[in-house]
Chains A and B, each alone.
Chain A
Amino acid sequence: MIEIRGLIKAFGSRPILKGIDLDVAEGEFLTLVGPNGAGKTTLMNIIATLSQPTAGQVRVAGYDLHDDAIEVRRHIGLVSHKTLLYDDLSADQNLRFYARLYDLPRPQARIETMLRQVGLWGHQRDPVRTFSRGMQQRLAIARALLHDPPVLLLDEPDTGLDQHATARLNHLLDQATTASHTVLMTTHNLERGLAWGDRVAILAGGRIAYQARRPDLDIEALRAQYDLHVTGG
């Protein structure tokens, strides 16, 4: 579902991604772990068409990022630490706006379904600025899933959330991401990366330094690999 070949990204003369080769199969949940500054968000932004690669090829749902960017966007939903919501609009107005951008048929029914799913039905007329950070992030998930994209990109979605809100977010993502979704999630939390992914990859030094399937990996082994590739120890 996601195919990345020889992906290079440099900002000026500073290389961030130095040749990424990565595949995420249909229905697979891949977590990408790495330290701050490893290029996780840069990689996500490129897959989401928010940033242009310097070199290499990316295909999402069979569509080439360069030639079919609009189709790529139609097939992805992005949840990041930024909610991509409008504070001055209500939850309902935000989702209605995105429903129009995604050409959703019968948007009102879908909006109600999504708001109920994220536990915000009853707050649909409240301005987003009155929501707590946890509520805003739940609405961001509703926004990302509104058009039922087959590919979900989760870029450290729990950043800035307290423990309770994180637990609720995790539960919600667990419910919302079904087997039909292909998910690529970035995190710097090894435990969460291992708990969630069918496969875990370590991004370090601008490359995929290590990857393994979950049944073959425990937290100690992952930590050892992480230390080896990230801290050099």
Chain B
Amino acid sequence: MSYLRKVLAIVIKDVSAELRTREMVSSMLVFSLLVILIFNFAFDLRADNQRTLAPGVLWVAIAFSGMLGLSRSFIVEKDRGSIEGLLLAPMDRSAIFLGKMLGNVLFMVAIEIIILPVFVVLFNLSAGDLLPLAGIMVLGTIGFAGVGTLFSAMVVHTRAREVLLPVLLFPVVIPVMLSAVRLTAAVLDGLPMAEMQNWLSLLIAFDAIFFALSFILFDFVMEE
């Protein structure tokens, strides 16, 4: 219980700090909305190609806006020196990973709650798609934020950290992105659950693998 209380304390701290400034979430939100809008107008979408392009547009918006949040996750701690306060606390350092990851997932999900209805309206999708899409978005976000939090901690001591994070992270999260895009396409095409099973299993498996690896490796990453 003590461990979970500490994880929760880190989440509450990150959310409280963000509520005071609203810098990160507002940037992520504006960026993701712009991506959806720009793609919507740039492709001059016709009814027959909307469903082909929509899944990719949605996940590009989620991945790139999520990257904005992830890149700030540890940089803020490092630049203000407060990361040492976390490292000094009498707890297993995996609690820091878990707290920061949950915070990142929360911020990304908050953005997704807003962009999903916009996405459905702009791409003329059915409101019935909202629920299954939300489920896929949460699963994809967990995988993305899990490994992203680890990489964010890894690059924080480097000079070109803002540039390095996407360069390192995007190749690694390809399986998550691929599964999430395929599942989103399947939902928009109205395919039955049985036909999505393989991609869904793959997404859940990668979420589990990425989370377990990041959880285990975090302590090594935080050592100098």
Binding site for B on A (CB under 8 A): 48-52, 70-71, 73-74, 76, 78, 80, 82-89, 93, 97-98, 100-103, 127, 143
Report if A103-B2 is in contact (Cβ < 8 Å); known contacts: A51-B224, A70-B92, A84-B82: yes
Q: Is B159 an interface residue (CB 8 A)?
A: no
Chain B interface size, under 10 / 10 to 19 / 20 to 34 / 35 or more: 20 to 34
Q: In the complex, what distance in Å separates the CA atom of A48 from the CA atom of B87?
A: 9
Most buried by B among A85, A88, A103: A88
Residues B5 and A103 in contact, CB atoms below 8 Å apart: yes
Which residues from A are CB-within-8-Å of B21?
Answer: 88
Chain A nearest CB: distance from B23 CB in Å? 9
Chain B nearest CB: distance from A104 CB in Å? 11
Chain B nearest CB: distance from A69 CB in Å? 9
Which residues from B are CB-within-8-Å of A78?
Answer: 84, 88
Residues B85 and A88 in contact, CB atoms below 8 Å apart: no
Nearest B-chain residue to A103, judged by Cβ: B2
Beyond A89-B13, A98-B89, A143-B85, 14 extra complex contacts between A and B, CB < 8 Å = A50-B87, A70-B91, A71-B90, A73-B88, A85-B82, A86-B13, A86-B82, A93-B13, A97-B12, A98-B85, A100-B9, A101-B9, A101-B91, A103-B90
Residues A86 and B80 in contact, CB atoms below 8 Å apart: yes
Q: In the complex, what distance in Å separates the CA atom of A34 from the CA atom of B54?
A: 63
Q: Would you list which residues of chain B between 72 and 131 have a CB under 8 Å from chain A?
A: 80-82, 84-92
8 shortest interchain CB distances as A-B pairs: A82-B81, A84-B85, A100-B9, A74-B90, A101-B89, A73-B90, A88-B17, A88-B20
Chain B nearest CB: distance from A8 CB in Å? 15
Which residues from A are CB-within-8-Å of B86?
Answer: 101
Q: In the complex, what distance in Å separates the CA atom of A143 from the CA atom of B6?
A: 16
Q: Is B197 an interface residue (CB 8 A)?
A: no
Q: In the complex, what distance in Å separates the CA atom of A71 from the CA atom of B90?
A: 7
Nearest B-chain residue to A77, judged by Cβ: B88
Report if A82-B5 is in contact (Cβ < 8 Å); known contacts: A88-B17, A89-B13, A89-B16: no
Q: Is B223 an interface residue (CB 8 A)?
A: yes
Residues B5 and A48 in contact, CB atoms below 8 Å apart: no
Chain A nearest CB: distance from B89 CB in Å? 4
Residues B20 and A100 in contact, CB atoms below 8 Å apart: no
Nearest A-chain residue to B13, judged by Cβ: A97
Q: In the complex, what distance in Å separates the CA atom of A82 from the CA atom of B17?
A: 19
Residues A73 and B89 in contact, CB atoms below 8 Å apart: yes
Most buried by A among B2, B5, B90: B90
Report if A93-B16 is in contact (Cβ < 8 Å); known contacts: A98-B85, A103-B2, A103-B5: yes
Which residues from A are CB-within-8-Å of B81?
Answer: 82-84
Q: In the complex, what distance in Å separates the CA atom of A159 from the CA atom of B84?
A: 18
Nearest B-chain residue to A147, judged by Cβ: B90
Listed A/B pairs (28) with beta-carbon separation below 8 Å? A48-B88, A49-B87, A50-B87, A50-B88, A70-B90, A70-B91, A76-B88, A78-B84, A82-B81, A82-B84, A83-B81, A84-B81, A84-B85, A84-B88, A85-B82, A86-B17, A88-B17, A88-B21, A89-B13, A89-B17, A89-B20, A97-B13, A98-B85, A98-B89, A100-B6, A100-B8, A102-B89, A103-B2
Which residues from A are CB-within-8-Å of B87?
Answer: 49-50
Chain A nearest CB: distance from B206 CB in Å? 31
Chain B nearest CB: distance from A44 CB in Å? 11
Most buried by A among B81, B82, B223: B82
Most buried by B among A73, A76, A88, A101: A101
Q: In the complex, what distance in Å separates the CA atom of A102 from the CA atom of B12?
A: 15
Nearest B-chain residue to A128, judged by Cβ: B80
Q: In the complex, what distance in Å separates the CA atom of A100 from the CA atom of B99?
A: 13
Which residues from B are CB-within-8-Å of A88?
Answer: 17, 20-21
Which residues from A are CB-within-8-Å of B17?
Answer: 86, 88-89
Nearest B-chain residue to A93, judged by Cβ: B16
